[in-house]
Structure 1
Amino acid sequence: MIKKAALTAFWFLFLTFPLLVIRVNTIEHIVEWRWKNMLYVGIGSFVLSLLWQYFLARQASARKPDEGEDSSLRSFSRRVLDDLRIKRSLLAAGGLFALAFPFLFPSYQTNILTTALLYIVLGLGLNIVVGLAGLLNLGYIAFCAVGAYTYALLHVHFGLGFWATLPIGALLAALFGILLGFPVLRLRGDYLAIVTLGFGEIIRLVLENWNAFSFGPSGISNIPRPGLFGIDLNLQQVTVYIYYLMIGLCILTIFVVNRLQDSRIGRAWIALREDELACEAMGVDKTTAKLTAFALGATWAGMAGVVLAAKTTFINPASFTFLESAMILSIVVLGGMGSIPGVILGALVLMLLPEYLRAFQNYRMLLFGATMVLMMVFRPQGMIPAIRRSYLYKGDKP
């Protein structure tokens, strides 16, 4: 272990020597040798490499043979979630805190949490496609763009409001999900990821270049915020109103996704994710299962897109890039694929952590990326992994 750490530190010093040690002073025409930097970097890289090797060895020695064999080996987070009293207490405390949040913190914090709630809805929608059905989708943000532009264009051309456009945006996004699902019925894995990535880029480029339809890269502005029985609300009141609206949408999403997960189609998705050939051999219609997963996953993205357009009052194609799709996928993977509590926690961490690391200024994204790398190395199943159902046959009783 020490030998590996020393070798790692040596190679790190060798690669960074020209940047950290040598500095050319162009004013006085001299070369400065910063040997202290070399000492600090060498010691730091050696210690970090030693800790890395230690935690990897500890993880390998403590690896569980099978979480489904013995319930006593389950993680602490899963034991907490399985305890009904603790679960209810946490839900009650979290619900009271969420309801009182706008009155305890300024509007800026409320706006940040509203964005996190929006990504919870997007993460739960993508969790249907990726976490349950096992269909890798790298262009998921395109369905959000469909919902956002549906609201913006229907308001510009027909004067429709938020509540009239919300179901229309969801239905159009579901239709686009079915249109994407048909060409990729025979694809899986990397090929499916490439096609969905291309689909997302096609939607973005169409919106960016079809000026007569989408107003091009300049976008659409002055999109009205959600109305409340014709009452005029100021900016702070609207922020609080959209926050509570997102809480209601999150509760609805959690309820529906949980019911879908335990339903007949949900079990078909899980079977499709585990083994597509065995799933089809057991009589499951994989065409219907895949199209349903794409349609339902896109439905929540469409509704989130309508809310996003109403929240920001301005949209353009630059808001729906591949980076957004990658962020939503990171929420699902980091939280735990197929796990509703995991996706919620992953969205809160990935959305709130960069904001509250602004005190570190230029280093906050470095810390953010390092946190994600450490999570994927030491806990690849996610923060709150999904329960894998197992059935034990004990034989006929005499």
Structure 2
Amino acid sequence: MTKRLLAPGDSIREWWDARSRVQKWGFGVLMFGVLALLPLYTPPFLDTPGISFGGTMAQFAMIAIIAIGLNVVVGQAGLLDLGYVGFYAVGAYTVALLTSPDSPWNRLSPTGFFSTPWAWLSCVPLAMAITALAGLILGTPTLRLRGDYLAIVTLGFGEIIRLMADNLSDITNGPRGLNEVAFPRLGESEKLPEGVFSSANSGGDANYGTWWFWLGILLIAAILMLVGNLERSRVGRAWISIREDEDAAEVMGVNTFRFKLWAFVIGAAIGGLSGALYAGQVQYVAPPTFNIINSMLFLCAVVLGGQGNKLGVIFGAFVIVYLPNRLLGVHFLGINLGDLKYLFFGLALVVLMIFRPQGLFPARAQLLAYGKSATALLRAEPREKEPAA
């Protein structure tokens, strides 16, 4: 019997699937611990010479949260969303409108819910709630569409949000954007009067980018636990059935519209969380950030890592963020390779679609309910038939 050859992604996935739940938790904690230490102890081959490695990892954490949220919509429920950047923008502008001095809706106060030390943290749940509401408003009339039609509608939604931010000058300050957005005030001292999350903390390895990365890692862990529990629940099984064959799922009694709307709203809320993280980290929000190119890059992270695989899309997000920053300042034949990131990603997707269309780490179809007992039953040797009396 010939042995099946495995691609690196398949061998890693099969090794991971063979581990028990306790082992997976142990490896997960170890992996997140190693990730957290990378900005402090950066291997030379991994460093980004043209930019702070801590800032690169902070950007990676932000894009990873986006990729996990988009994976709920695209990878698990099978809904093609090309305007996910719109939810990202809604989350960012919610924080900016409530905390920026340039905004007429500024709610900062010396004391109370929006006091300066707690303003950003107070805005995070509001950003998630408002973005989830935007997902509900968009999804209710449009999720009866499928395929290319849904993709065009969501693409239009993303562009509408950007154009509104660009043209509502009295509220969003138009193309000039909103400056001095609130951020967490933690670790204030004489040296850092605004805390470790301030852009003034730009020196050393534990700079403000590193602190934002650590906060992003905590949020990623929490989101992974939430999404993982949803996958193993009735909701997750409904999403998989809709992704594989929506008509068959509906015939079998699955309320496809309701579960698609659940995926849309949950994915939107996660996108709003990442937008709030972006607004606090950069402390400046402007319309050009939320263009269609960024929406395509978010989708590229999901496709590259493997649709439906949470850890795979995180790896895809790392590639999307790390590769341009690693090539920044690297010249070949007089060309700055960092400026050719879209060319590299386009070529990578073409090659991937030819040789591995399911992504580097594709999701493995497996029994989600009673998985261990069912697997043990199927692997058990058949018992010998007892002789008839």
TM-score range, shorter chain: 0.7 to 0.9
1:268 to 220, 223, 238: 238
Deviations 1:193-237 (A, max 9, x none): 000001111111111101112111110011122222766324234
**1:368 offset after TM fit, Å?**
4.2
Map 1:91-170 to 2 at 5 A. 91=28, 93-105=30-42, 108-156=52-100, 157-159=106-108, 160=114, 161-170=119-128
SS of the residue aligned with 2:336?
helix
Question: Equivalent residue for 1:385?
Answer: 362
1:309 aligns with 2:279: yes
**1:88 offset after TM fit, Å?**
6.2
Cα distance in 1, alignment partners of residues 336 and 187 from structure 2:
45
Change (3 A) 1:272 1:229: same
Residue type at the aligned position of 1:98: L
Cα distance in 1, alignment partners of residues 266 and 282 from structure 2:
25
1:182 aligns with 2:126: no
SS of the residue aligned with 1:168?
helix
Map 1:9-20 to 2 at 5 A. none
Deviations 1:128-173 (A, max 9, x none): 1110111111110111111111001111311131000000000000
Question: Equivalent residue for 1:222?
Answer: 180
Cα distance in 1, alignment partners of residues 210 and 337 from structure 2:
31
Question: Equivalent residue for 1:34?
Answer: none
8 A Cα contact 2:306 2:363, kept in partner: yes
1:235 aligns with 2:201: yes
Residue type at the aligned position of 2:79: L
Cα distance in 2, alignment partners of residues 273 and 350 from structure 1:
25
8 A Cα contact 1:226 1:242, kept in partner: no
2:163 to 205, 221, 225: 205
Cα distance in 2, alignment partners of residues 136 and 89 from structure 1:
34
**1:328 offset after TM fit, Å?**
0.6
1:254 aligns with 2:224: yes
1:362 to 333, 336, 339: 336
**1:176 offset after TM fit, Å?**
0.3
Please say which of residues 157-166 and 357-366 is displaced more in the overlay.
357-366
Map 1:332-347 to 2 at 5 A. 332-347=302-317
Q: CA RMSD in A?
A: 2.9
Please say which of residues 358-367 and 303-312 is displaced more in the overlay.
358-367
Cα distance in 1, alignment partners of residues 235 and 24 from structure 2:
27
Question: Equivalent residue for 2:154?
Answer: 196
Cα distance in 1, alignment partners of residues 277 and 172 from structure 2:
18
SS of the residue aligned with 1:134?
coil
Question: Equivalent residue for 2:103?
Answer: none
1:330 aligns with 2:300: yes
8 A Cα contact 1:138 1:329, kept in partner: yes
TM-score between both structures, scaled by the size of structure 2: 0.78
8 A Cα contact 1:80 1:87, kept in partner: no
Cα distance in 2, alignment partners of residues 124 and 301 from structure 1:
9
Change (3 A) 1:240 1:84: same
**1:287 offset after TM fit, Å?**
2.1
Deviations 1:9-32 (A, max 9, x none): xxxxxxxxxxxxxxxxxxxxxxxx
Change (3 A) 1:288 1:193: same
Deviations 1:31-68 (A, max 9, x none): xxxxxxxxxxxxxxxxxxxxxxxxxxxxxxx9x8xx9x
8 A Cα contact 1:353 1:368, kept in partner: no
Cα distance in 2, alignment partners of residues 202 and 111 from structure 1:
30
Cα distance in 1, alignment partners of residues 235 and 96 from structure 2:
33
Question: Equivalent residue for 1:349?
Answer: 319
Please say which of residues 322-331 and 90-99 is displaced more in the overlay.
90-99
Give aligned-pair identity as a percent: 38
8 A Cα contact 1:173 1:298, kept in partner: yes
Cα distance in 2, alignment partners of residues 367 and 284 from structure 1:
41
What runs of 5+ residues in structure 1 fail to find an aligned partner? 1-61
Residue type at the aligned position of 2:361: I
Question: Equivalent residue for 1:76?
Answer: 11
TM-score between both structures, scaled by the size of structure 1: 0.76
SS of the residue aligned with 2:235?
helix
The one of the two structures with greater contact order (alpha-carbon pairs below 8 A, sep at least 6) is 2
Cα distance in 1, alignment partners of residues 94 and 301 from structure 2:
25
Higher helix content, 1 or 2: 1
Change (3 A) 1:367 1:136: closer
**1:376 offset after TM fit, Å?**
2.3
What runs of 5+ residues in structure 2 fail to find an aligned partner? 101-105, 109-113, 368-373
**In the comparison of the two structures, how many residue pairs are matched?**
332
Structure showing greater radius of gyration is: 1
8 A Cα contact 2:39 2:57, kept in partner: no
Residue type at the aligned position of 2:83: G
